[in-house]
Amino acid sequence: MLHDVSPARWDGCLRVLSELRRCASQAGVTLPLTLLVVPRMHGDAALPRRYLRWLHGMADAGHELVLHGLTHRDEGPPLRGLRDYLLRRHYTAGEGEFAALSHPQATERLLQGRAWAQAHGLAMDGFVAPAWLLSPPGLQAVVDAGFRHTCTLTEVIALPQRQALPAPSLVFSTRAAWRRGLSLAWNRLLARRARAAPLLRLELHPSDGDHRAVVRCWTGLLQDALHTRTPLRLAEAARLAQRMAD
């Protein structure tokens, strides 16, 4: 999955997509993608025509578009305690938009996001909270809004019955050199430990194309996975979760 798809981060998205296409070409496979779209990244409502045409082109090519919050900015209630601080400020740098929202607050943002997608002719049946931080009332709002699937950092979840399938995520943190170094070591270890997992997710962000060591790591992990695994979009992974729960 490619996170934070928005005009403000489009250049980074294109760099990551270029590397993904190269990996797919070398492996001789088709690589369907799930693009996590943010309508108003950090409040910026600009929507260049070229970007909108590109989104439609990606959907027409078979890639899945998923709503990824409304603004990707945590504007929820004040922090409560150390755990809140670590999750909402340290872990995600204030971008966990749905981390602490009430059901009405989450519903309002979800409805605005759905209205934006419908106004521009974009089908989005799934929702993924920024940084995977989703309060319990927020998850209920996602169900009530009619989304068909979502995920956490460690699971894919089919809705509305909430059938969950373990799906460890390879995800990189690039905000600082020490974070990048830890990410490289951790993701290599996690990929080895997850060889028997039914699903293994590669979760990429636009900045993951900006650092050569990070690019070498995730492209290598992807190429290894493509030898033994079948690429799936999030919707297909959610259907797998439903089948395995039945």
Residue 18 pLDDT: 97
| Residue 234 near residue 32 (C-beta atoms within 8 A) | no
Kindly tell me the sign of the dihedral angle through the C-alpha atoms of 104, 65, 219, 10.
negative
Look up the pTM and report it. Answer: 0.94
Amino acid of residue 210:
D
129 φ, ψ to 5°?
A: -70, 140
Angle at 155 between CA 129 and CA 101, to 5 degrees: 30
Mean pLDDT for back-to-back runs of 10 residues, the chain (246 residues): 97 97 95 98 96 98 98 78 63 81 96 98 97 94 98 97 96 92 96 94 97 97 95 97 90
How many Cβ atoms sit within 10 Å of the Cβ of residue 207?
A: 19
Residue 88 pLDDT: 67
Residue 64 pLDDT: 98
| Residue 170 near residue 221 (C-beta atoms within 8 A) | yes
Rounded to a whole number of angstroms, the distance between the first and last alpha carbons of the chain is 26
Task: Tell which CATH architecture fits domain 2-245.
Answer: Alpha-Beta Barrel (3.20)
Alpha-carbon Rg for the chain, nearest whole angstrom, is 17
Residue 216 pLDDT: 97
